Amino acid sequence: MLQIQNNFPLKDLNTFHFDVYASSYIKTNSTEDLRTWITETKPDINRLLVLGGGSNILFTKDYPGIIFHPSFDDITILEKKNDEVLIEAGAGKTWDEFVEYCVENSHYGVENLSLIPGTVGAAPVQNIGAYGSEAKDVISKVNGIFLDTGKEFSLENRECNFGYRNSIFKNELKNRILITSVVFRLSTKENYNLKYGHLEERVKEFGDINLRNVRQAVTAIRSAKLPDPDKTGNAGSFFKNPEIPASLFRDLQTKYPDMPGYDLNNGTFKVPAGWLIDKAGWKGKTVGNAGVHRDQSLVLTNTGNATGRDILSLAASIENDIKNKFGITLEKEVIVI
Ligand SMILES: Cc1cc2nc3c(=O)[nH]c(=O)nc-3n(C[C@H](O)[C@H](O)[C@H](O)COP(=O)(O)OP(=O)(O)OC[C@H]3O[C@@H](n4cnc5c(N)ncnc54)[C@H](O)[C@@H]3O)c2cc1C
């Protein structure tokens, strides 16, 4: 089925809660109907946008084209073999409900990604990650449809060009496709990834090491650390953690001995963007209704009636300041529309 509406409000479909509208909005849970609509309408793909939960998007204005909102939300077990299970989840399924399903059914591999907002269909787009796990570690295939021809595709993991918060869907296939479902390869054998930070200790606070307790620990850490978008508009980490040349990292460490960095063993170091923003003195600062969160400098917030342009202008000031102070260019993780 396709539900088509015009002049559609997006306030509840973007976690910054900007009061913007889409010229047209199409909700669909049928690949068949979508294919028919595309072949009959032959839409201009420069005026199409796929929107999941809107938790990684910043709208600077009303969207002057068509927004597709996939609502496929089935979960199907495709195969169980040896110690693995192949599960297909619809793109519109809420990501955290999918994680909950896996935890309750003893499927190992996505528990560290508990409580990440958004939908299953968006998970491969920026290769979501948290607490030492990334979606790419468990994605087997991504299925979808080309928005210009209506042709279906299925990409194997290696064809998705996954990288740090990156994939083919943010590059060559950007704005050209709609992901309809994702196939995950999960383990049915006990298998945890608790090396990140103090995760193992936090899990033990809940009792034995098991899937439910890992999920509870991750949920508790995230809830304490990150602002709830339902209360304070935000889109999680606004910037990516920059990867800088080892020579620059060493120079900066001479000046700032407490500067953290992770050696990527390829001549570059990954530096926490939050540390740079803190060090530059932005933590807790607000400009009008656009703010830098008081506990998490990487998160920019809508503290009232900010617009996308207000947040973007604050982001630009931060980017300039970080460039001037550290010689580092910050790259946005959030997609600006
Ligand atoms: C409080 C908070 C915490 C967060 N923490 C994390 C974190 O720990 N790790 C992390 O990686 N991210 C995090 N995020 C970012 C966000 O949750 C993820 O990027 C999530 O995957 C976005 O899902 P969404 O459905 O909201 O996508 P949207 O914001 O709707 O869309 C994001 C991009 O994906 C595209 N897209 C969405 N669905 C589809 C589809 N079906 N087919 C094709 N393209 C599609 C959109 O066009 C857009 O380009 C956080 C966000 C918030 C608000």
- Interval 268-281: pLDDT, tens: 999 999 999 999 99
Whether the CB of 233 sits within 6 Å of ligand 1: no
Name the percent of the chain lying above pLDDT 90.
96
248, β-bridge pairs? none
- Cα separation of 138 and 156, whole Å? 12
Q: Is the CB of 119 under 6 A from ligand 1?
A: yes
CB environment 5-26: b (16+ within 10 A), e (fewer): eeebebeebbbbbbebbbebbb
Looking at the structure of the chain, the number of domains it has is: 3
CB 322 within 8 A of CB 282: no
**CATH number assigned to the domain comprising residue 154:** 3.30.465.10
Ligand 1 atom at shortest distance from the alpha carbon of 135: 11
Residues marked as catalytic: 165, 237, 333
Specify whether 326 is located in the same domain as 215: no
* Residues 236, 56 contacting (CB under 8 angstroms): yes
Pocket test for ligand 1, best of 56, 73, 172, 334 (most atoms within 8 A of CB): 56
Please say which residue of 174, 206, 225 terminates a domain.
225
Give per-residue pLDDT as tens, 105-139. Answer: 999 999 999 999 999 999 999 999 999 999 999 99
| Per-residue confidence band for 2, with pLDDT thresholds at 50, 70 and 90 | confident
How many angstroms is it from 52 CA to the middle of ligand 1? 7
For the Cβ of 296 lying below 6 angstroms from any atom of ligand 1, the answer is no
- In this structure, are 113 and 164 located in the same domain? yes
Q: Is 145 in the pocket of ligand 1 (CB under 6 A)?
A: no
Range of the structural domain that residue 63 is part of: 2-70
In this structure, are 126 and 60 located in the same domain?
Answer: no
The pTM score is 0.95
Q: Are residues 172 and 304 in the same domain?
A: no
